[in-house]
Structure 1
């Protein structure tokens, strides 16, 4: 049984370029250095993220992030724009832009994701997807790993209910 955990703190705003930015915040009981590795190391990303990486995301420059749905990877070009370990990682993923900020809080981390995308209607969908993925990351960090929840398989783990909940929270 997959426990999705509590709702994340979310909000969205209009981006300067006419797109939309989701702000997704989750508190993790682990130091930024451990969370950083989950965000940058290909082996760690494969355990929780909706994509795999062709290289460590620890330096700027081009990369390929392959979205996973079932057994089929869908490669998307990425550009790593900013790397400030263990506090900031920013990159493009296809047409989207992701900015991960890690703020230390004692031995814990406040993880904030800023995900900029084109379609406002996708904001609650993206929030639901990140909710599931970050929950899997959290379980992995806690030492109780769960297989990745991504692609069409996410529907079996309460994605539709999460999407509806975030749609209401975001008033969309």
Structure 2
């Protein structure tokens, strides 16, 4: 059903809504999502890097507009503080690093021992977005996959100019069953 609702923003029938959980060559657990979108790479890049857009779906507050190699601080969001009682580091000690930034095609960063890679390539109909999250804890695969899928739904809605009328955190909880 969700594929039908969100088919406006991606090319229907060409990608799966679910992330793929797999083992990397070095034995780590990773999640991979692919989306075929009807928007050029520059617009997709903005959707995954603009702080105003990130605040609607990304599970941290971070400034990605930094030189490659820069330390990053991923702060707890206000909603995470409210909903889950999560606390931010008062010292704001860096917990990540920007590894690659090649607008509008590749963004890669390390966050708390995990590697997140966003690859955007042009297609005749728009863009192909491939997101891979190499996890530090294999047990986190199910909830992380559900969270990223919910986040990507928001990204697609933003690209379409559609209002986000649902709670992405509640949507992630709903999607978690699909990854059992």
Taking structure 2 as the reference length, what is the TM-score of the superposition? 0.75
Of residues 4-13 and 20-29 in structure 1, the stretch that sits farther from structure 2 once superposed is 4-13
* CA deviations over 1:72-115 (Å, ceiling 9, x no partner): 26466220001111111000111211011112112422211110
Q: Distance in 2 between matches of 1:63 and 1:8?
A: 30
1:19–1:118 contact (8 Å) kept in structure 2: yes
Q: Which runs of 5+ in 2 are unaligned?
A: 8-15, 82-86
The 3-state SS of whatever aligns with 2:39 is coil
The 3-state SS of whatever aligns with 1:126 is helix
Q: Distance in 2 between matches of 1:58 and 1:85?
A: 12
The 3-state SS of whatever aligns with 2:162 is coil
Matched, 1:126 2:135: no
The 3-state SS of whatever aligns with 2:95 is strand
Matched, 1:48 2:61: no
Matched, 1:65 2:78: no
Q: Which runs of 5+ in 1 are unaligned?
A: 168-172
Q: Which residue number in structure 2 is paired with residue 102 of structure 1?
A: 120
- Do the aligned partners of residues 31 and 70 (structure 1) sit closer, same or farther apart at CA in structure 2, a change above 3 Å counting? same
Cα offset for 1:68? 2.2
Q: Distance in 2 between matches of 1:38 and 1:24?
A: 16
Q: Distance in 2 between matches of 1:15 and 1:35?
A: 26
Q: Which residue number in structure 2 is paired with residue 34 of structure 1?
A: 43
Taking structure 1 as the reference length, what is the TM-score of the superposition? 0.78
The 3-state SS of whatever aligns with 1:25 is strand
Q: Which has the larger radius of gyration?
A: 2
* CA deviations over 1:31-61 (Å, ceiling 9, x no partner): 11011012222222113212221x3435311
